[in-house]
Amino acid sequence: MSVRTFSNPAGNERCLGYACPICGSSVFTFLWEVEGARFHRCCGCGHLQQYPVPVQEELSLRYGEEYLSYELSNEEAFFSLMAKALDDVGFSSLTASRGLAGGRFLDIGCATGRLIEHLRKHGWRAEGVEVCSPTARYGIEHRGVPISISTLEQAAFGDQAFQVVHASHLIEHLSDPVAFLQEAHRILDNRGLLVLTTPNSAGLQAKLFGSGWRSVIPDHIHLFGRKNFLTLLRSNDFSPLSWKTWGGIAKGLVSETIKRPVDRFAKLSGLGDVMIVLSEKR
């Protein structure tokens, strides 16, 4: 399944010189310019990010009615991918064995609330956070699900409020992923679970296509490789429990006869285009 990734060209947003979130280095090597976004590689650990980094308040303004249309046209495909990814990391069995099933579940960057609706039907006390007002309002009005129209920090949830925090294809859009992880840690219950999905810059497609990789777009501020992503989680007091990757080659580039074995190889070898990591709060 291949879905075009939503993105807007880089504008004249204010930028800041954030250090590398993985190793703290401020020394970067320029790699590519894509639609006005300048991508660099950290000289300390190899992390790939835009530099300087647009400030989050202005990045959030990129999402409006166009984003709602994009989400509505793709929401069943996105839901299917999220559900399969959760299955891949053993989400249902793990939450059941730990007595977490039916607890409070927060979906950050929840779009139209499709996953929230599904989880609430299965007994979870699920809610969401979404910065795009039209998209969030669609979920509130058409699905009847609770969504805070804000960033995670602006939502100001209480300490240890949730048993599970989930964010699919969100962390790569953030100016400061460390601040995001710190806030997720604060609102998670002791031994609560954090589930993150993001493109894998150490995957097969990234290696093959370089600046032409489909995840090298202006809306992606950080592009994490699996090794660096696990390092980032551990350094922010999370213990990764399970991870998977998937997607060996984009649909339409080759025949299905070739695509299927390549996809299988990428998944088994950890070289998939996208990764999901399930972690426990320490």
Instruction: Say what the pLDDT of residue 18 is.
Output: 79
The per-residue pLDDT for range 51-66, each reduced to its tens digit, is 888 888 888 888 889 9
Listed in sequence order, the residues at least 6 apart from 131 whose beta carbon sits closer than 8 Å to its beta carbon are: 60, 63, 109, 149, 150, 151
pLDDT at 48 over 90: yes
Q: Comparing C-alpha atoms, which of 153, 159, 145 is closest to residue 111?
A: 145
pTM equals 0.92
The per-residue pLDDT for range 163-213, each reduced to its tens digit, is 999 999 999 999 999 999 999 999 999 999 999 999 999 999 999 999 999
**Long-range pairs for 121-129 at CB < 8 Å and ≥24 separation?**
129/155
Instruction: Say what the pLDDT of residue 1 is.
Output: 41
pLDDT at 253 over 90: no
Instruction: Say what the pLDDT of residue 3 is.
Output: 46
Instruction: Say what the pLDDT of residue 237 is.
Output: 98
In one-letter notation, the amino acid at residue 209 is F
Query: What domains lie within the chain, and their CATH numbers?
Result: 63-281 (3.40.50.150)
pLDDT at 159 over 80: yes
Torsion of CA 189, 245, 145, 156, to 10 degrees: 40
20 DSSP assignment: P
